[in-house]
A and B are shown apart, each in its own frame.
Chain A
Amino acid sequence: MELLHVRSLNKSYGAHQALKDFDLSVEQGLIFGLLGPNGAGKTTFIRIVNQIIEQDSGDIRIKGEPLRMRHVRDIGYLPEERGLYKAMKVTEQLLYFAQIKGLKKQEALLRINRWLDKLDLTRWKENKIQDLSKGMAQKVQFIATVIHQPDLLILDEPFSGFDPVNAEIIKNEILELKRLGTTIILSTHRMESVELLCDQIALINRARKVLDGPVKTIKDEAKTNRFLVKLIPETPTMSLPWEDVVRREGWVEFTVELQGRQPNSLLRELMEQGEILGFEEIIPSIEEIFIQKINESHAG
């Protein structure tokens, strides 16, 4: 089922176009990566979905319905720039955030206790945020985002500011939420950090979507059919039939294209030239694919 549907979204700030004819379709229960450099338009898009700002034109549907104020109940949002009321107690604060999302007090308190227990914060529930460590405050922030069990969770640069231990905890919670059916949009400019987490991605550059689809498909399509080979030649000085051979101490390194052959038959050919140290398909990272796409679009 399509959870979020976006058609020809446009938004500009004065002369600056932040989003141009932006389309997006996010299926339910997936982790969707929204990738692109800073200033590409990610945050603008997220703010529009959160109804913080309004689009100039374009159509947004959530669960098939046109986006309305009541949908704030269905969305959880962790902004890139985030904070808490420092002088408020943990429970008080979470209760406030839950209530302004539309949760009833009793229900909210039950959930708050469950989450505090889960993230090991129960003993701090009556403490003010200013008395907590940064890591603990970040966990509270995460709870505030998910406390109302949103169908759609939007996380803008979720791992920035988290220490590695907490980042891991949060990552596991995200995966758990996904198992429970939550749809998650992850937005980041650090593409390598979410490549493994995302089922689908969209690449954004300069207000436009450059590319989108399942991570696997995108990667398969970007395959170059080239392999990186490391081997020790029969004799150190023998001439090799490949281009761009880099000679190391006692071994050489180069790339070969399959050119219609099967990898195994290529490997057999290579084995005749010496002892194989390494044989690995070159798969471009999402970032490399992104850069390549942008270069193509500039050239075209």
Chain B
Amino acid sequence: MSENPTGPGGNGPAHTADPVQEPSGVEDLPDGTGQEAAKAAQPNVASSLLNAVLEGNSAVVTFLAIVTAIVIGGLLIAFSSPTVLHAWSHLFSAPGAAFSQAWDVAASAFSAMFEGAIFNPHTVAAAFHGGSIAAIFNPLSETAVNATPLILSGLAVALAFRAGLFNIGATGQFIGGAFIAGWIGFAVHMPMILHVVVAVIGGFVGGSITGGFVGYMKARTGAHEVIVTIMLNYVMEFLLLFLLGLAVFRAPGLPNPVSPPVASNATLPHLAGANLRINAGFLVALAAAVAVTWLLNRTTVGFELRTVGANPNAARAAGMSPERTWVVVMLICGGLAGLAGASVILGTDFALTPQIYGTYGIDAITVALLGRAKPGGVVLAALLYGSLNAGGVTMQGLTQIPVDITTVIQALIVLFVAAPPLVREIFRLRPRRAGEEGQLLAKGWSS
């Protein structure tokens, strides 16, 4: 929340007309509570809260978007089930069955999802009868494991957003980080703690090089970062495939393009015993979120970054260098995405494969949008995504509902979040002035 960036006031370049304050600024999607309350000049907390709900600030809109997506997802689950469709074909003879069938299917799907993502009551009962206590925390551990790379790559996109850059290149930067971290992990021998630290730093550097190249291209030649990052994704994907085809990077004796596993010294330590997959990568991700918050709000670089993001011309007029900022931002963003790669290769996957990058780079964009390009928001959005991913596995396993449905729910959430007017229309919220929301994307494409 940087409504009033007072932090850098002292050490940052002082300006009378602070461009960051402008309402059209990319960095601050109007966060209704503050503004509305000020406008109404009502000190009463309750009434301003009610106002926020009825007008719908961004938090309320995000929440409603999630609810809407889950309701639609539930309907999709219910009506893609043959038993439900069968029951509905007898709607008029047995209307009760039709509705209860639909409800049962959706409810069992979501309860399985909940069991996989948050808490499964059966594990507690099992623990009393000699089962493992770790199993109780397994769903939460899985959620955290799924969220870790998303937090890091989401930050890589969000931070770029704040500087007015649309970083589509998290995939390429992820590969850069995963490759260097993985290579240090399996090819170099080092003592225990040092090895994993060096490998993680290597991941940051690997992503940084990839990201920094984009910043350099934009600063030096004016090439649009969207084009450069997309093309660089392809370059990195096929570079990875090519390198894994070389005997040097392949597990000895096997024909497949898979690297040797990283040394145990280089793996991120488990946080809660070997049976739970949660590892130190999650702490790295949280620390990165704190560091990005600090960077944005408490440093000169962060102030310049937000200023450039709000208005590069104003920044230039104030004596800042947008070019330098773009390079610095992309170095950091690339490094964050590289850390995501390191967290996967050193924390959960342990070997480089041609598709190690998965969909993290694309999901990162939606996580950053969902988190409104704020570090705290990104962490929450990544946790939501992580819980949907973790729950999706259990849902599919217990109910055989295609896992694609979780992807649909994720996509719907983002769709509604990215289009606040749609949610406002559905829930009949008071309209806001045009152009206040949804600036995030527009800004990214311009400049």
Task: Please determine whether chains A and B interact with each other in the same assembly.
Answer: no
Q: Which residues of B are interface residues toward A (Cβ below 8 A)?
A: none
